[in-house]
C-alpha cells in the first residue's frame, strides 16, 4: 500500500525532542579502534552455518540463526552480537555515550543510533563471510517446541548469508529456503502455539518504510507483514523468555515487565474490534489477534488499538524489586537479543553468561544496574513520544491536500457527553478524533476539517458536508 508522496522532514522532530542523530568525530575514531576483550576465551563455532534475516539494506545485524531437526525435536542456535566485549573494557567515550542514548530511536527516514556505525555496522555486526564475536545461545526444543535444555556462552561465529525478509518469504513460498533456516517455519509455528497456550498477546504491526522518491520527497510505504517475520520473532521471544527465567531462578538480573490490561481496557478493545467488523466473542485476545490479517486496513487498525493493552511496560533490576511477569509474553522475559540497538541487552546478557558459567557477574554490571534501568525507562518513553510525533506528522502531511473532502470511516467509539467520537478512516488508514456522535460500529462518511502539519493534528466531522 502506498500513501501520498510528500515532503517529510523528521529532523525537526529529532531536534524538538533532543534526539542525537549523529556522533562527534572522536566517537567515530574511538569506535573504529575498539577490539574484542574476550577473543581468547571463545568457543570456535564457525562450523555452525548461521544466516541473518533483517529488513532490506540493514547493516546493524544483532542476530544470526541456524536450526536443525533432531530425533526428539529441534536444536536452535542463536548468535547475538557481543557488544559488551568491545565497549565494556574501560571508561571509553562510546560506552559513556551509549549510557546516555539508551537505545536506537527509529525515525522513519533514518534511525538515531545507539552506537557509531564503525561498531554497529562494522566490527560488532554479524555481517556475512567474516569472523565475528558473539554470544551463542543453544536451545533444545521438544516436538511441541517447548524448551528441553539450553546453554549460553561466548563464541566465534561466521554468518553464511545476509538475507532479508522479502527474499526469505519468496524462498519459503517456492520451497527453496536456505538450509540453515529450513526448519524456521516449523519451529515458528510451534512457538506460536506455545504462545497461545500462555495466552500471550502478539502484535503483528506492518512495518512502515519511508522511501526518498525525488530529492527530499518521501513516499510512505506500508509493507506486508510476512509470516517469516513472525517466525523469526519467535526465536527472539524464546531467547528472552529463557533469559528471564534464568534470572528469576538465580535472583539477579533485569526483566522487561508488563502488568495485565484492566477489565475496562479489555472491554473497550473488544467493543472496538467488533465495531471494525470482527467477531471476537469471549476467546482470548491472543488467539483473536493470531487470526487477524494485519495487512488489511482494518487488521492494521486492530493491531494499533491492541497496543493500548500493552501500555505500562518497564524494566526492573531483580536486586531491587521482586520478579514480575510480562503479561504480553505470558511469562518472565528479558531483553537480550538486540545489544546493537538497546543498552540493557548487553547488561542482561552478561548476567546470563555468568549464571550459565557459574561465575560472578562482572562488577561493571552491578555498578551500572540502576542507571541502566533509569536510562531505559527514560529513553523508552522518548521513543514512544517520537513514534507518535512521526506518525502524526505523516498523517497530517498526507491529508493536508484533502481538506474539506469526505472519507469513508468506521466509528470505533462515541462519547455522547463530549459530542465526539473516535473513528478509523479506511484509506488512508488513520485513527482520528471526529466531532459528532455517529452510532458505534456504523460505516459512514466524515469530512476532514483539520490537517495541521505544524501542530501534527488531524480531525474529522460528522455528518459529512
What whole-number distance in Å separates Cα of residue 32 and Cα of residue 26?
10
Residue 171 CB-half CA count within 13 A: 18
**Residue whose C-alpha is closest to residue 126's, from 67, 58, 64, 37:** 64
* pLDDT for 148: 98
Please determine, for residue 198, whether its predicted confidence score (pLDDT) is greater than 90. Answer: no
Q: Which residues make beta-bridge pairs with 459?
A: 450
Name which residue leads in pLDDT, 355 or 442.
Answer: 355
What whole-number distance in Å separates Cα of residue 37 and Cα of residue 39?
6
pTM higher than the cut 0.85: yes
Band (6; pLDDT cuts 50, 70, 90): low
Distances (CA, A) of 132 to 199, 216, 269, 341, 375: 37, 36, 45, 17, 28
* pLDDT for 210: 56
Please determine, for residue 1, whether its predicted confidence score (pLDDT) is greater than 50. Answer: no
Please determine, for residue 403, whether its predicted confidence score (pLDDT) is greater than 80. Answer: yes
**pLDDT tens string 145-175:** 999 999 999 999 999 999 999 999 999 999 9
Show the CA angle centred on residue 39, arms to residues 35 and 45, nearest 5°.
125
Residue 177 in 3-state DSSP?
coil
The per-residue pLDDT of the chain, averaged, comes to 91
**Residue whose C-alpha is closest to residue 231's, from 145, 334, 138:** 145
E strands, 189-307, are 208-212, 217-222, 254-257
**pLDDT tens string 173-197:** 999 999 999 999 999 999 999 998 8
Show the CA angle centred on residue 13, arms to residues 9 and 19, nearest 5°.
120
Query: How do the residues of the chain divide into helix, strand and coil, expressed in percent and rounded to 5?
Result: 40, 25, 35
* pLDDT for 220: 54
Q: What is the average pLDDT across 27-56?
A: 96
Q: What is the DSSP string of 103-128?
A: B-B--SSS-B-SS-HHIIIIITS--B
The residue ranges of every structural domain in the chain are 10-259+312-399, 403-461
Band (207; pLDDT cuts 50, 70, 90): low
Q: Which residues make beta-bridge pairs with 152?
A: 137
* pLDDT for 218: 54
Q: What is the average pLDDT across 293-310?
A: 82
E strands, 130-241, are 131-141, 147-164, 208-212, 217-222
**Is the Cβ–Cβ distance between 127 and 134 less than 8 Å?**
no
* pLDDT for 217: 57
Omega of the bond leading into 463 within 30 degrees of 0 (cis): yes
Please determine, for residue 219, whether its predicted confidence score (pLDDT) is greater than 70. Answer: no
Band (40; pLDDT cuts 50, 70, 90): very high
**Residue whose C-alpha is closest to residue 261's, from 317, 203, 204:** 203
* pLDDT for 74: 98
Residue for grid cell 455517529: 438
Distances (CA, A) of 413 to 266, 280, 353, 407, 458: 14, 17, 49, 17, 17
**pLDDT tens string 63-77:** 999 999 999 999 999
Please determine, for residue 279, whether its predicted confidence score (pLDDT) is greater than 70. Answer: yes
CATH topology of domain 403-461: OB fold (Dihydrolipoamide Acetyltransferase, E2P) (2.40.50)
**pLDDT tens string 87-142:** 998 778 999 999 999 999 988 878 899 999 999 999 999 999 999 999 999 999 99
Band (304; pLDDT cuts 50, 70, 90): confident
Band (301; pLDDT cuts 50, 70, 90): confident
In sequence order, the 6+-apart residues with CB closer than 8 A to the CB of 406 are 445, 446, 447, 448, 464, 465
Q: What is the largest CA-CA distance in the chain?
A: 73
Q: What is the average pLDDT across 310-330?
A: 91
Residue 67 in 3-state DSSP?
strand
* pLDDT for 2: 45
Q: Determine how β-strand 131-141 pairs with β-strand 147-164.
A: antiparallel
**Is the Cβ–Cβ distance between 452 and 396 less than 8 Å?**
yes
E strands, 243-352, are 254-257, 314-317
**Is the Cβ–Cβ distance between 60 and 83 less than 8 Å?**
no
Please determine, for residue 5, whether its predicted confidence score (pLDDT) is greater than 70. Answer: no
**pLDDT tens string 417-448:** 899 999 988 888 888 999 999 988 888 999 99
Q: What is the average pLDDT across 380-393?
A: 92
Q: What is the average pLDDT across 26-40?
A: 96
Please determine, for residue 4, whether its predicted confidence score (pLDDT) is greater than 90. Answer: no
Q: What is the average pLDDT across 260-286?
A: 88
Phi, psi of 420 (to 5 degrees): -150, 170
Instruction: Report percent pLDDT > 70 for the chain.
Output: 94
Please determine, for residue 214, whether its predicted confidence score (pLDDT) is greater than 70. Answer: no
Amino acid at each position: 500500500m502506498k500513501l501520498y508522496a510528500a515532503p517529510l522532514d523528521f529532523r525537526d522532530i529529532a531536534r524538538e525532542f533532543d534526539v542525537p542523530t549523529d556522533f562527534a568525530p572522536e566517537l567515530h575514531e574511538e569506535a573504529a579502534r575498539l577490539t574484542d576483550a574476550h577473543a581468547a576465551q571463545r568457543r570456535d563455532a564457525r562450523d555452525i552455518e548461521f544466516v541473518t534475516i533483517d529488513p532490506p539494506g540493514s547493516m546493524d545485524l544483532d542476530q544470526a540463526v541456524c536450526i536443525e531437526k533432531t530425533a526428539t525435536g529441534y536444536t536452535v542456535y542463536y548468535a547475538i552480537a557481543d557488544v559488551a566485549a568491545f565497549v565494556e573494557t574501560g571508561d571509553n567515550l562510546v560506552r559513556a555515550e551509549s549510557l546516555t542514548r539508551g537505545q536506537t530511536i527509529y525515525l522513519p527516514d533514518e534511525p538515531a543510533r545507539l552506537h557509531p556505525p564503525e561498531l554497529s555496522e562494522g566490527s560488532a555486526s554479524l555481517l556475512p563471510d567474516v569472523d565475528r564475536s558473539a554470544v551463542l545461545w543453544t536451545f533444545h526444543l521438544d516436538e511441541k517446541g517447548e524448551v528441553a535444555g539450553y546453554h549460553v556462552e561466548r563464541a566465534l561465529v561466521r554468518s553464511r548469508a545476509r538475507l532479508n525478509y522479502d527474499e526469505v518469504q519468496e524462498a519459503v513460498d517456492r520451497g527453496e529456503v536456505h538450509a540453515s533456516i529450513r526448519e524456521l517455519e516449523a519451529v515458528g509455528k510451534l512457538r506460536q502455539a506455545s504462545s497461545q497456550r500462555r495466552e500471550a498477546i502478539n502484535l503483528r504491526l506492518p512495518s512502515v518504510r519511508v522511501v526518498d522518491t525525488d530529492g527530499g520527497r518521501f513516499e510512505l510505504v506500508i509493507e506486508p507483514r510476512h509470516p517469516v517475520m513472525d517466525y523469526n520473532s519467535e526465536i527472539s521471544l524464546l531467547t528472552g523468555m529463557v533469559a528471564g527465567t534464568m534470572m528469576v531462578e538465580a535472583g539477579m538480573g533485569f526483566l522487561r515487565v508488563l502488568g495485565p490490561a484492566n477489565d475496562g481496557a479489555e472491554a473497550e478493545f473488544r467493543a472496538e474490534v467488533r465495531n471494525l467488523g470482527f467477531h471476537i466473542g469471549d476467546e482470548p485476545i491472543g488467539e483473536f489477534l493470531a487470526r487477524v490479517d494485519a495487512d488489511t486496513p482494518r487488521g492494521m487498525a486492530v493491531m494499533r488499538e491492541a497496543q493500548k493493552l500493552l501500555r505500562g511496560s518497564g524494566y526492573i533490576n531483580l536486586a531491587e524489586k521482586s520478579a514480575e511477569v510480562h503479561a504480553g509474553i505470558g511469562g518472565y522475559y528479558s531483553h537480550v537479543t538486540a545489544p546493537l540497538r538497546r543498552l540493557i541487552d548487553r547488561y542482561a546478557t552478561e548476567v546470563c553468561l555468568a549464571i550459565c558459567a557459574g561465575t560472578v557477574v562482572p562488577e561493571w554490571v552491578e555498578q551500572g544496574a540502576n542507571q541502566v534501568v533509569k536510562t531505559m525507562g527514560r529513553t523508552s518513553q522518548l521513543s514512544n513520544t517520537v513514534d507518535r510525533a512521526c506518525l502524526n506528522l505523516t498523517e497530517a502531511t498526507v491529508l493536508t491536500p484533502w481538506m474539506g473532502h469526505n472519507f469513508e470511516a468506521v466509528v470505533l467509539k462515541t462519547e455522547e457527553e463530549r459530542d465526539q467520537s473516535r473513528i478509523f478512516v479506511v484509506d488512508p488508514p488513520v485513527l482520528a478524533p471526529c466531532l459528532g456522535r455517529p452510532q458505534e460500529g456504523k460505516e459512514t462518511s466524515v469530512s476532514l476539517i483539520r490537517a495541521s502539519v505544524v501542530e501534527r493534528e488531524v480531525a474529522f466531522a460528522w455528518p459529512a458536508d
